[in-house]
């Protein structure tokens, strides 16, 4: 497997010297936000990590390799290209073998981070169980990978485009530990809380200790840290619900399903909120990068 990994110079050095490193995904750049904001955000996230003396490793698939850590030119390609594949587990081999350009989802980023020896990963929101999953069976691969790849994922919960109670039930079934950071309410991405209850945890040290204990016990599953958006930046749950419903209606009208659904809903919501949701999205990812860096330092 090692022959497929290509480390940037900084990430290679940091890992060799046992310095803290965090992984960042690339689907958020290619499919989650429009250009040029995606490029700015990718750069800003890396800068936040560096200011905290943590090395950021943005991950993608390019030229037949799994790239661990991207140079600016690579980020630019990802941010601009409109033929980037969205890569979950099933797509990794195909995109590498055919030497295509692939952006990694939470699922694929966890897998690649684990190959690279990176234990903490910051993102915006994870995929989950979609509303109406009882008809469509649309359950994100992210949830399965959380159950079998030993990486800590810091997210702002999950978007309310999903069915949050079903998402939490599914994670419980799959044995994934979920902790609310300084909260016992599962956050709903744009909103700092939903009505769903989770276990509360208060410090990065405790998160690192639980992770280490799990690993030592041979429980090689991942862990989800749900980090609420700071209240001053949030969009209230009820207000979001209206936007989400009209995005969902439009998806149904246009027969959007499968891997297209999540990116479609994300871009519709940006349009409906006239960019306000994008600002919120950026704030929460920054907040997640900070927490991921604190956890990586403890580890
Ligand atoms: N949710 C968001 N923003 C995102 C995604 C999800 O709020 O950018 C992206 C992530 O990369 C996530 C993927 O892993 O979508 C999930 O897609 P799907 O639902 O098709 O599994
Ligand atoms: Mn899906």
Domain ranges of the chain: 1-118, 130-299
- The burial of 285, by beta-carbon neighbours within 10 Å (0-12 exposed, 13-18 middle, 19 or more buried), is given as buried
Expressed in angstroms and rounded, the spacing between residue 31 Cα and the centre of ligand 2 is 14
Expressed in angstroms and rounded, the spacing between residue 64 Cα and the centre of ligand 1 is 23
Expressed in angstroms and rounded, the spacing between residue 88 Cα and the centre of ligand 1 is 10
- The burial of 175, by beta-carbon neighbours within 10 Å (0-12 exposed, 13-18 middle, 19 or more buried), is given as exposed
User: Which residues face 179 on adjacent strands?
Assistant: 199, 225
What integer pLDDT is reported at residue 69 of this predicted model?
A: 98
d(CA 294, CA 281): 20
CB contact set of 160 (below 8 Å; sequence gap of 6+): 188, 189, 190, 191, 194, 237, 240, 241, 244
Q: Kindly identify the ligand whose nearest atom is closest to the C-alpha of 139.
A: 2
CB contact set of 70 (below 8 Å; sequence gap of 6+): 8, 26, 58, 59, 60, 78
Task: Please give the number of the atom of ligand 1 that sits closest to the Cα of 258.
Answer: 20
Q: Kindly identify the ligand whose nearest atom is closest to the C-alpha of 187.
A: 1
**Cβ atoms of residues 101 and 83 within 8 Å:** yes
25 counts as catalytic: yes
Fold exhibited by the domain 130-299: Indigoidine synthase fold (3.40.1790)
**Cβ atoms of residues 196 and 165 within 8 Å:** yes
Expressed in angstroms and rounded, the spacing between residue 249 Cα and the centre of ligand 1 is 19
Q: In terms of residues, how long is the chain?
A: 299
Q: Do domains 1-118 and 130-299 have the same CATH topology?
A: yes
- The burial of 134, by beta-carbon neighbours within 10 Å (0-12 exposed, 13-18 middle, 19 or more buried), is given as exposed
Q: Which of 46, 86, 159, 268 is catalytic?
A: 159
Q: Which residues line ligand 1 (CB under 6 A)?
A: 25, 27-28, 32, 105-107, 124-125, 127, 140-142, 159, 189, 259, 262, 266
Give 85-108 pLDDT, tens digit per residue: 999 999 999 999 999 999 999 999
Question: Homologous superfamily of 1-118 in CATH?
Answer: Indigoidine synthase domain (3.40.1790.10)
**For residue 32, pLDDT beyond 90:** no
What integer pLDDT is reported at residue 50 of this predicted model?
A: 98
Of 105, 121, 149, 267, the residue with max ligand 1 atoms within 8 A of its CB, to mutate for a pocket test, comes to: 105
SS3 of residue 55 by DSSP: strand
Could you tell me which of 29, 21, 180 has the C-alpha nearest to residue 116? Answer: 21
100 counts as catalytic: no
Helices (H) and strands (E) in the chain — how many of each? 13, 11
List the Cα angle 260/262/267 in 5-degree steps: 95
- The burial of 72, by beta-carbon neighbours within 10 Å (0-12 exposed, 13-18 middle, 19 or more buried), is given as exposed
Give 174-200 pLDDT, tens digit per residue: 999 999 999 999 999 999 999 999 999
Output 150 or 31, whichever has higher pLDDT.
Answer: 150
Q: Say if strands 5-7 and 65-68 run parallel, antiparallel, or are unpaired.
A: parallel
Average per-residue pLDDT in the chain?
96
Q: Say if strands 152-155 and 120-122 run parallel, antiparallel, or are unpaired.
A: parallel
Task: Please give the number of the atom of ligand 1 that sits closest to the Cα of 32.
Answer: 8
Q: How confident is the model at residue 33 (pLDDT cuts 50, 70, 90)?
A: confident
Residue with the smallest CA separation from ligand 1 atom 7 is 125
Mean pLDDT for the stretch of residues 255-270? 93
Residue with the smallest CA separation from ligand 1 atom 3 is 125
Q: Say if strands 65-68 and 55-62 run parallel, antiparallel, or are unpaired.
A: antiparallel
Mean pLDDT for the stretch of residues 113-141? 96
């Amino acid at each position: 497997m090692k022959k497929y990994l290509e480390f940037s110079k900084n990430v290679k050095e940091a890992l060799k010297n046992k310095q803290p490193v965090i992984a960042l995904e690339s689907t958020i750049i290619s499919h989650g936000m429009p250009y040029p904001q995606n490029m700015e955000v990718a750069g800003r996230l890396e800068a936040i990590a560096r200011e905290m003396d943590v090395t950021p490793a943005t991950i993608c698939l390019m030229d037949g390799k799994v790239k661990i850590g991207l140079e600016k030119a690579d980020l630019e390609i990802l941010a601009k290209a409109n033929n980037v594949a969205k890569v979950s587990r099933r797509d990794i081999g195909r995109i590498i073998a055919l030497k295509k350009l692939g952006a990694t989802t939470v699922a694929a980023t966890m897998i690649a981070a684990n190959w690279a020896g990176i234990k903490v990963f910051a993102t915006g929101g994870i995929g989950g169980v979609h509303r109406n999953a009882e008809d469509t069976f649309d359950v994100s691969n992210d949830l399965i990978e959380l159950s079998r790849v030993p990486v800590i994922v810091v997210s702002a919960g999950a978007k309310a485009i999903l069915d949050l109670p079903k998402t939490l039930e599914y994670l419980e079934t799959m044995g994934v530990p979920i902790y609310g950071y300084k909260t016992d309410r599962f956050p709903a991405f744009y909103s700092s809380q939903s009505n769903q209850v989770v276990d509360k945890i208060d410090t990065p040290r405790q998160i690192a200790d639980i992770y280490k204990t799990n690993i030592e016990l041979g429980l090689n599953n991942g862990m989800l840290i749900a980090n609420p958006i700071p209240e001053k930046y949030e969009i209230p749950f009820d207000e979001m619900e209206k936007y989400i419903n009209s995005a969902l209606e439009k998806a149904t009208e246009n027969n959007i399903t499968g891997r297209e659904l999540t990116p479609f809903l994300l871009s519709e919501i940006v349009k409906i909120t006239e960019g306000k949701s994008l600002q919120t999205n950026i704030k929460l990812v920054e907040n997640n990068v900070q927490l991921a860096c604190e956890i990586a330092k403890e580890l």
